[in-house]
A and B are shown apart, each in its own frame.
Chain A
Amino acid sequence: MVATGKALLIARREVRLLSRSRATQGALVLLVSVAWLPAILLPLRRGSLGVASFTELLPLQIALGAVILPLLALLAGAELFAGELEDGSLIPALTLSISRRACFVGKCLGRAATLGAAYLVAFASAGLAVAATHGGTGWRDWAVVTASGLLVSFSSGGVGAALGAAGSGRVRAFGAALVTWIILVFALDALLLTIVVALAPPPPGSIGEHGHGEVAAPRAPPTEMPIHQGVEPVDPHARHAEPEGPKSSRLSGGLMALNPVSLFRVTSLAASPGLRLRLALALPGGTGAGLGTTIVAGWLIWLVAPLAVGLRRFVRADLT
């Protein structure tokens, strides 16, 4: 049997195992809550019953997703290997003709497929309910936010898997996952946002109005008013400043890509100029040019690198 077949055998085993697990049922309930509660609760502010529109829904979905999805995925990832290695129930599989590499890939595939399906069921059902009530306005932004939620879940799950892959036990793996969650969601996210804002060039026209170095919110969406627009350069050398917008945008995106949670926010916001204003989280100097590449590269790294680290730890681990 080729390695792919063995990885798929392990993946099927993982799916079967998860389908019988109460933790999976709990995760599904939590995901349904995250997907549905904002849609149901937001109209209550207006004193009405029903579901919110996509546009109303997005800010809360981003805020909730940035906190809850990484936590859920980190814990699920940490348990992926730590649980079975602690119980010893993975040992029989590893002493069969299944390499550790195939075992790692198979278990990751099986868990990603199961929890990814649960995520899609939860959010697709909420999305369908919103579309049925309000029509399709804003669905693209919602779809981007939902897709980036899946990406932050997979990348956080990979980090969790790397934490639990050395077989140091559930308690240590869960502890490490919780500390990582605090770092990613609170400490690092806040730090990166602070740096990005601090490094941001002042918006056009802010000098004199707000003073040097003062950060002001853009007056209009960056896509509608690029940074150089309306500023007539006097010195021909000043034209070199023109690419500053995209460069600054790439720098901001690059910094935010250091953290999958921040990347989730950037991806969600970059997809919707309207959201950038509403959340007062404009990308400094952002015309958005070059940001897409940074975001894609950031996600690729966050999806692959933790799994590569996890695989390395799992292959080298003492498993008894």
Chain B
Amino acid sequence: MTTGRRGLRFAKVGRSFGDHVAVQDLELDCPAGVLTCLVGPNGAGKSTALALAAGLLAPTAGAILFDEILVRPQVPAETTGYLPQRSAFHPSFTVGEVLHFTRVARGSSDEERSALEVTGLGEVLDRFVGELSGGWVRRLGLLSALLGSPTLLLLDEPFVGLDPETHDRLLSHLRERLESGATIVTASHDFEVLDPFGPRVAVLDEGRLRLIETVSSSDVSRPASSSRVLYRRALSGEPD
């Protein structure tokens, strides 16, 4: 990391929905230039943590900071690209219109080509969102998150619904972004895909952080140090 950026920090963050505690006392650093991977069973609080970091939800306790600035409401959204678990765009817009809107809103220009290449959406620019398959809508969500080179990328299950080619292009793109000092946080169970990044793996369960450990990218061939093993160990309560 050469940018001097601090990255994303969850400081004792809590979030409840009525009586249900989705995230509790989450203390987590997601450094710049490193891929942080939130893993955990369904309902563990991964998506809630990402929505909190995107500023779409307000924490009921604690604070979230990006580069030591409170995420909500101070951090300008130019810095954040967020892919929600369920991408949705109004069906009466064309892909080209969504792209134009996103580009104007972000104030981006040159980066458009890169994001288009990753998502492969160039061939369906004239089609209405309502006519697209789920996979194409997912790609459109990715485009919206990647366009403008935001320095904080929050990606909820980014590989779901992607064909192998798009999948590989996205991996290359994420690697480039990490090298340029971006902070990337994903919620994903694609352990084998993400292990080569040497991710910082945070295992969540019932809203609590159970384990945080970095997988060395040079050790990915050793099963004992893979994120899948870390995940199982954290949830089973086994010692190191």
Inter-subunit contact B77/A98 (CB<8 Å): yes
Inter-subunit contact B90/A95 (CB<8 Å): no
Closest to A101 in B: B73
Asked whether B58 is an interface residue with its Cβ less than 8 Å from the other chain, the reply is yes
Inter-subunit contact B102/A95 (CB<8 Å): no
Inter-subunit contact B90/A9 (CB<8 Å): no
For A316, what are the chain B residues with a Cβ–Cβ distance below 8 Å?
58
Inter-subunit contact A318/B56 (CB<8 Å): yes
For A6, what are the chain B residues with a Cβ–Cβ distance below 8 Å?
105
A316 vs B73: C-alpha distance in the bound complex, in angstroms? 10
Asked whether A320 is an interface residue with its Cβ less than 8 Å from the other chain, the reply is yes
Closest to A96 in B: B105
Inter-subunit contact B105/A91 (CB<8 Å): no
Task: For the complex, count residues of A whose C-beta is within 8 A of B.
Answer: 25
**Nearest Cβ on chain A to B138's Cβ, whole angstroms:** 12
**Nearest Cβ on chain B to A170's Cβ, whole angstroms:** 14
Asked whether A225 is an interface residue with its Cβ less than 8 Å from the other chain, the reply is no
Against B, the Cβ 8 Å flags (1 = close, 0 = not) of A291-320 are 000000000000000000000000010111
A318 vs B92: C-alpha distance in the bound complex, in angstroms? 25
Inter-subunit contact B86/A88 (CB<8 Å): yes
A93 vs B51: C-alpha distance in the bound complex, in angstroms? 14
A88 vs B144: C-alpha distance in the bound complex, in angstroms? 14
Asked whether B81 is an interface residue with its Cβ less than 8 Å from the other chain, the reply is yes
A97 vs B76: C-alpha distance in the bound complex, in angstroms? 6
A163 vs B101: C-alpha distance in the bound complex, in angstroms? 27
For B58, what are the chain A residues with a Cβ–Cβ distance below 8 Å?
316, 318
A158 vs B144: C-alpha distance in the bound complex, in angstroms? 30
Closest to A13 in B: B101
Closest to B98 in A: A92
Inter-subunit contact B92/A91 (CB<8 Å): no
Against A, the Cβ 8 Å flags (1 = close, 0 = not) of B59-93 are 00000000000000100111011101011111011
Asked whether A94 is an interface residue with its Cβ less than 8 Å from the other chain, the reply is yes
Closest to A93 in B: B105
A16 vs B90: C-alpha distance in the bound complex, in angstroms? 11
Provided the pairs A88-B84, A88-B86 are in contact, do residues A95 and B92 lie with their beta carbons within 8 angstroms?
Answer: no
For A98, what are the chain B residues with a Cβ–Cβ distance below 8 Å?
77, 105
Interface set, chain A 85-116, CB cutoff 8 A to B: 87-89, 91-99
For B80, what are the chain A residues with a Cβ–Cβ distance below 8 Å?
95
Which B residues form the contact surface with A (CB < 8 A)? 47, 51, 54-58, 73, 76-78, 80-82, 84, 86-90, 92-93, 97-98, 101-102, 104-107, 141, 144-145
Q: List 13 A-B contacts (CB under 8 A).
A: A1-B104, A1-B107, A88-B88, A91-B56, A91-B84, A92-B88, A92-B89, A95-B55, A95-B144, A96-B102, A97-B77, A97-B107, A98-B105
* Beyond known contacts A17-B93, A91-B84: 16 more, CB 8 A cutoff: A1-B105, A13-B101, A16-B97, A88-B84, A88-B86, A88-B88, A89-B89, A92-B102, A93-B105, A94-B56, A95-B80, A95-B81, A96-B77, A96-B144, A98-B77, A319-B56
